[in-house]
């Protein structure tokens, strides 16, 4: 079952169970995917985006909500922060399991080995290899500096 089908099934289940918050988040996910479909179609690309792009969209949605929740907490708006955290929990149901620190280190070492990276100039190759294999499983914003340290 591809990502779109999983999200559609979850949407139907949320409608039947009358789970308003979950339903709202699932509709936001669907809207983000459809927006990307329209953007890709406008560029003359495929008709729909694939699972890898859906995972990237979900990852961005989680990151946006984490930043919003942090801002709400700092501003003393705990009810809004809790809403954002609830949306994160729903979105993360569709993301693959996040890699542990040891697994991330092993993945970085493997990517460096297979790309033959020897200097900081090869960082793009290493990051591309990681992104192609581990989309949705690691935070590439946090992994980038680790790759840079290993290549420096």
User: Could you tell me the fold of the domain covering 101-151?
Assistant: Arc Repressor Mutant, subunit A (1.10.10)
Q: Is the pLDDT of residue 1 over 80?
A: no
Question: What are 5-24's pLDDT values in tens digits?
Answer: 999 999 999 999 999 999 99
Which residues fall within 8 angstroms of residue 97, CB to CB, at 6 or more apart?
Answer: 137
Beta-carbon count within 10 A of 38 CB: 10
Q: What does the block give as tokens for 132?
A: 């192609």
Of the candidates 65, 63, 60, which has an alpha carbon nearest to the alpha carbon of residue 32? 60
* Domain ranges across the chain: 3-92, 101-151
Whole-model pTM? 0.74
Domains 3-92 and 101-151 share a fold: no
CA distances to 10, 51, 122, 152 from 2, rounded to whole Å, are: 13, 7, 33, 39
Q: Which CATH number does the domain 3-92 belong to among 1.10.3210.10, 3.90.45.10, 3.40.1010.20, 1.10.1510.10?
A: 1.10.1510.10
């Amino acid at each position: 079952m591809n990502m779109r089908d999983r999200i559609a099934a979850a949407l139907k289940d949320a409608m039947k169970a009358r789970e308003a918050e979950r339903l709202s988040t699932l509709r936001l996910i669907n809207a983000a995917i459809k927006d990307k479909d329209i953007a890709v179609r406008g560029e003359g690309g495929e008709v729909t985006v694939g699972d890898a792009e859906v995972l990237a969209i979900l990852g961005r949605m989680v990151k946006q909500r984490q930043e919003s929740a942090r801002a709400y907490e700092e501003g003393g708006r705990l009810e809004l922060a809790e809403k954002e955290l609830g949306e994160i929990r729903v979105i993360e149901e569709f993301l693959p399991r996040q890699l542990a620190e040891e697994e991330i280190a092993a993945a970085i070492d493997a990517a460096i080995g297979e790309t033959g990276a020897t200097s900081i100039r090869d960082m793009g190759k290493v990051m591309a290899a990681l992104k192609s294999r581990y989309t949705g499983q690691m935070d590439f914003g946090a992994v980038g500096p680790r790759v840079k340290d290993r290549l420096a």
